[in-house]
Structure 1
Amino acid sequence: MQPENEFVQNLHEVFALFGPVRARRMFGGYGIYHDGLMFALVADNMLYLKTDNLSRAAFEAQGLTPFEYVKNGKPIKMSYYLAPDEIFEDAEVAREWASLAYAAALRGRKS
């Protein structure tokens, strides 16, 4: 397993109140897991959190945008939205947003 970069290593501290997280390299970025379930991803040292139809409005209300990549010349939007900057400054805020993302991941697993 390749070593985590500094941004990813810091997520262990950011999410300390939420609980233990594990990072796994994938597609040039990292998947961020809690209890074996991916609830976030890191691409270009930007953190994105899992969303679904129940949680997406909270992200959009903050002006946060979805993770997007280009495939065959077309932009593809994923169900991960940029995390608010406040989570890097306030552990309680980080726990709230991580919980929201984890709940979306749990709901997605059941469908």
Structure 2
Amino acid sequence: MARAPKTPPIPPDARAVLGRFETRGPVRSRPMFGGHGVWCDDRFVAIVFRGVLYLKVDGETRPLFEAAGCSPFRMSADRPSRLAFYTLPAGVNAGSDDLEPWLDRALDAAST
């Protein structure tokens, strides 16, 4: 019997960003479609897929992510995803002072 491929670990840079959610509530992750789904305070706030971190958006926050040049989550290049998650803006990372508003937006979007 063939074994399912092992889900790769969350990369250290994405794990560091996700660690910043811990000030907002308990954080947990689980394997999901070859990546990881991430919850903060029982709200689905992020996906890590192929080493890339995507944060939850909604109708109010999506334009902010798009205006910042963020890319939408896609499982494959040939079809769009129905999941509303976007990358962080370029230059925003775990050590960035600009990270906090993006995490707050993801948590707010996950609340709707």
TM score, norm. by length of structure 2:
0.75
Amino acid aligned to 2:86: Y
Measured after TM superposition, the shift of residue 54 of structure 1 is 0.5
CA contact (8 A) 2:36 2:47 kept: yes
Count of residue pairs the alignment pairs up:
103
Please give the root-mean-square deviation of Cα atoms over the aligned residues, in Å: 2.5
Of 31, 54, 62, the residue aligned with 1:48 is 54
**Displacement, 1:104?**
0.8
1:76–1:3 Cα change, 3 Å: closer
Runs of 4+ aligned residues of structure 1 deviating over 6 Å after TM superposition are: none
* SS of residue paired to 1:67: coil
- Superimposed CA distance per residue, residues 50-95 of structure 1 (whole angstroms, 9 cap, x where no aligned partner): 111110111011111100124xx950233101112413222x4322
Structure 1 counterpart of 2:79, which letter? Answer: P
The 8 Å contact of residues 18 and 94 in structure 1, kept in 2 or not, is answered as no
Residues 82 and 5 (structure 1 numbering): CA distance in 2 closer, same or farther, change over 3 Å? closer
Gaps of 5+ in 1: none
Match of 1:67 in 2: 73
Structure 2 gap ranges (5+):
1-6
For the pair 1:97 / 2:82, whether they are aligned, the reply is no
Task: Determine the structure 2 residue equivalent to 1:13.
Answer: 19
Whose helix fraction is larger, Structure 1's or Structure 2's? Answer: 1
The percent of aligned pairs where both chains have the same amino acid is 32
Q: What is the TM-score with the length of structure 1 in the denominator?
A: 0.75
C-alpha distance in structure 2 between counterparts of 1:69 and 1:6, whole Å: 18
CA contact (8 A) 1:39 1:50 kept: yes
Report which of the two has the higher share of strand.
Answer: 1
